[in-house]
A = this chain, B = another copy of it.
Amino acid sequence: MAESRDRDQPADGRARAVIDAVRPAVDGGRFAVKRCVGDRMTVEADCFTDGHDQLRVMLRWRPETEKAWRELEMQPLGNDLWRASFPLEALGRYRYTVTAWVDHFLTWRTEFARRTEAEDLRVAARVGAAQIAQIAARASGKARRRLADWAQALRAAEAIEALRPVALDEELAALASKYPDRGLAVHWPAELPLDVDPVLARCSAWYEMFPRSASRAPGRHGTLRDVEARLDYVAEMGFDVLYLPPVHPIGRERRKGRNNALLAGPGDVGSPWAIGAREGGHHALHPELGTLEDFRRLVARARALGIELALDIAFQCAPDHPYVGEHPQWFRRRPDGSVQYAENPPKKYQDIYPFNFESGDWRALWDELKGVLEFWIGEGVRVFRVDNPHTKPFAFWEWAIETVKRAHPEVIFLSEAFTRPKVMHRLAKLGFGQSYTYFAWRNTRHELTEYFLELAHGPGREYLRPNVWPNTPDILTEALQYGGRPAFMARLVLAATLAANYGIYGPVYELCESEAREPGSEEYLDSEKYQLRHWDLERPGSLRPFVALLNRIRRENPALQSDQGLRFFDTGNEQLICYAKIAPAHGNAVVALVSLDPHHVHSGWVELDLAALGIAPDAPFQMHDLLSGARYLWQGARNFVQLDPQRVPAHVFRVRTRVHREQDFDYFL
């Protein structure tokens, strides 16, 4: 990041402005900052010069597809901090940077305003007149004439009383500021990248389901048409994204049986993540699911209901995937010539062949895999959930996502990397628009508070968008196994209100399925990963209406649609967690209170930060519980709360502040 000059032989030592820092920036501009369409991008810079001279600082920005920079004057906020912001009206990559210069006209004007002695003012007027004449020479037409006249007037003014108003004329100063001498401007050495994604990247509610279990007739293999019939169910619950596990032909060789048995029985359907068979590979549909026409129809019907279809991208092969025969060079061989299966000794996954990304033919492999993404984009897909991206090279993802997004900036990639923190962050930096998190395993008040403060306010906030899931087909947590329906409700409220992006794996979630394969395991018993299941969606006790209510609350409260503005409040009770999402720009604040103990009634005293919530210290305010409809009148920071998990283990309050108007009764905003 060295400034673009040789420090032994400075290019022009007279350039005296300094840009010490430009924010935000991810790793000094190595990676892009992320925002969404409709956001304002705010950029800050630390700029100064030696001595007392005045600076002008410009924020420069452009969509990457355009050559010309647009410029905005940055405003000084004191302490050498400068700021400007611009609207993000289009998808895609932007660049921004900063330039600054010592502005002699502004310096002259600022000093002139402070001068008091008559002789000083006279001398300064002559100095200013000469400067303004130079500025006029850079202008043309009418501006040039006006500036030249101004210089002349300043030269001509004799009486001190006349001098000051002429010299400090605001309109002429504004005109002069349009023709600065930028010959000695300095430039921030990096053109910082910024990715502008669809709003769905910032706020989304995901629903995962296995198409093959979607059939209305028990025992019949579900189809994409069955999924289509399920769309209303999903839409009525208020989800934005419908995520399907891989829809490709499933390998027959070394197919796994029910409950991950090493050998499949004759009727076993296999794991959808064992991709590829004689019917085709990553470009094909599993024949029992339907046709590409069914697929396109499903995408379109879903979109009409406000739902994007998310496809699972798992770049690995079953032993009978066509790639294995067609591109043997993309796989590693064992000494006996057989293809090397996936392993993490002593564990073996003989049904999965990983790609050898160190193949000499890696360029063709990269192109082929990018082609898979492009193929499904061509079929209408805009959202990909990428399976285990951390087991494929980071450089591949960076290249593939960047290349795909250049042509299709509307596409969102979700990183399914349940791995070490720095690896998760790297994937987010290099282009994944959403990231799975550790939420499933964060249960205590301390754990949740620490983790979500880090997610909302740590350095990752510029590039990592958390997507939190209380369950997945691989993760049935102990909290759910042993917490019963109250735990399912509480974890759902936490997911839906702590994070703007969240998802559930259904219908097992809304049906509160909680039986694990064996004690100590997080695997579902009779998991859909290995067999067809049939679900009675109308089963009593389904959380379906509760889910629908939560998603409606999310849609109606902008504070819940962003990960910013999160803060936690004390409750005096470790089993009660309380936090607010605050969106001052929308006048919206939501306070959630959740019981972390599914078994006992808990009470406590919530200690709100009234100032942060925009509530005057002595004003009463209404806490409107959007789950129950109840409205509570509170006053002051400290208020009593109680939750019975057997009823509803949470409040989700909308904060309504009282407004007094003389012609009105009190009412609540």
Q: Would A16 and B114 be within 8 Å (CB), given that A123-B335, A421-B79 are in contact? A: no
Give, as a whole number of angstroms, the nearest-CB distance from A112 to chain B. 8
Is A336 in contact with chain B by the CB < 8 A criterion? yes
Query: Is A402 within 8 A of B7, CB to CB?
Result: yes
Residues of chain B with a CB closer than 8 A to A52's CB: 344
A661 at the interface (CB under 8 A from B): no
Q: What residues on B are CB-neighbors of A358 within 8 Å?
A: 14, 16, 184
Complexed CA–CA distance, A190 and B391 (Å): 27
Minimum CB–CB distance for A398 against chain B, Å = 6
B residues near A366, Cβ cutoff 8 Å: 13
**Interface flag for A37 (CB, 8 Å):** no
Given A335-B126, A390-B51, A422-B79, does the pair A2, B16 have CB atoms closer than 8 Å? Answer: no
A123 touches B422 (CB 8 A): no
Bound Cα distance A363, B8 (Å): 11
A405 → B minimal CB distance (Å)? 12
A538 in the interface (beta carbon within 8 A): no
Contacts of A48 in B (CB 8 A): 420, 422-423, 426
A8-49 to B contact mask, C-beta < 8 Å, 1/0: 101001111010110000011110000000000000001011
Contact B335 A399 (CB under 8 A): no
Contact, CB under 8 Å: A426 / B357: no
Are B18 and A1 in contact (CB-based, < 8 A)? Answer: no
Q: Is A142 an interface residue (CB 8 A)?
A: no
**Could you say which of A20, A345, A423 has the most chain B C-beta atoms within 10 Å of its C-beta?**
A345
Residues of B within 8 A of A115 (CB): 345-346
The answer to whether residues A2 and B20 also contact, given A13-B357, A79-B420, A422-B48 and a CB cut-off of 8 A, is no
Contacts of A46 in B (CB 8 A): 422
**Contact present for A16 and B426 (CB under 8 Å):** no
Contacts of A1 in B (CB 8 A): 1, 27-30, 190
Chain B residues with CB below 8 A from A65, complex form: none
Judge whether A305 is part of the interface by a CB distance below 8 angstroms: no
Cβ–Cβ contact A422 & B80, under 8 A: yes
A662 close to chain B: CB less than 8 A = no
Does residue A117 face the partner (Cβ distance < 8 Å to B)?
A: yes
A116 vs B345: C-alpha distance when bound (angstroms): 8
- Of all chain B residues, the one with the shortest Cβ separation from A390 is B50
Across the interface, do B27 and A403 meet the contact criterion of CB distance under 8 Å? no
A393 within 8 A of B: yes
Residues of B within 8 A of A420 (CB): 48, 79-80
- Are B126 and A8 in contact (CB-based, < 8 A)? no
Known: A1-B28, A30-B1, A335-B127. A16 touches B393 (CB 8 A): yes
* Number of identical monomers bound together in the oligomeric complex: 2
**A120 CB-CB contact with B under 8 Å:** yes
Nearest-CB distance from A229 to chain B (Å)? 39
CB proximity to B under 8 Å, residues A175-207: 184, 190
Count of residues in A whose CB is under 8 Å from the partner chain: 70
Minimum Cβ distance to chain B for residue A134 (Å): 14
Residues on B with C-beta less than 8 A from A395 are 5, 10, 13, 15-16
Q: A346 and B116 in contact (CB under 8 A), knowing A18-B394, A366-B13, A403-B8?
A: yes
A51 contacts B391, C-beta separation under 8 Å = yes
Residue of B nearest to A366 (CB): B13
Q: List chain B residues, Cβ under 8 A from A402.
A: 7-8
Q: How far is the CA of A5 from the CA of B392 in the complex (A)?
A: 19
Given contact pairs A29-B1, A117-B346, A391 touches B50 in the complex (Cβ within 8 A): yes
Q: Is the C-beta of A368 less than 8 angstroms from some C-beta in chain B? A: no
- For A28, list chain B residues within 8 Å (CB): 1, 27-28
Residue of B with least CB distance to A393:
B16
Q: How far is the CB of A111 from chain B (nearest CB, A)?
A: 4
Tell me which residues across on chain B come within 8 A of A450, comparing CB atoms.
none
A357 touches B16 (CB 8 A): yes
A295 at the interface (CB under 8 A from B): no
Q: Which residues of A, 106-142, contact B by the 8 Å Cβ criterion?
A: 111-112, 114-117, 120, 123, 126-127, 130
Asked whether any CB of chain B lies closer than 8 Å to the CB of A334, the reply is yes
Known A-B contacts A13-B363, A335-B127; the reply to A50 vs B394 at CB < 8 A is yes
Of residues A5, A20, A111, A398, which shows the largest number of chain B Cβ atoms within 10 Å of its Cβ? A20
| In the bound complex, CA of A10 to CA of B399 (Å) | 8
Q: Please, what's the 1-or-0 string for A326-364, where 1 marks a CB less than 8 Å from any CB in chain B?
A: 000000001110000001111000000010011100110
Complex CA–CA separation, A524 to B335 (angstroms): 87
Cβ of A396 within 8 Å of any chain B Cβ, yes or no, is yes
Alpha-carbon distance between A137 and B94 when the two chains are bound, in angstroms: 49
Q: Is the CB of A21 within 8 A of B27?
A: yes
Residues of B within 8 A of A184 (CB): 358
21 contacts between A and B (CB under 8 A): A1-B1, A1-B28, A1-B190, A8-B403, A14-B358, A14-B359, A14-B362, A16-B394, A16-B395, A18-B426, A48-B420, A49-B393, A50-B391, A50-B393, A79-B420, A79-B422, A80-B420, A80-B423, A114-B345, A117-B346, A120-B346
Contacts A13-B363, A50-B357, A50-B393 known; 6 new A-B pairs at CB < 8 A: A1-B30, A8-B403, A16-B393, A48-B426, A51-B392, A115-B346
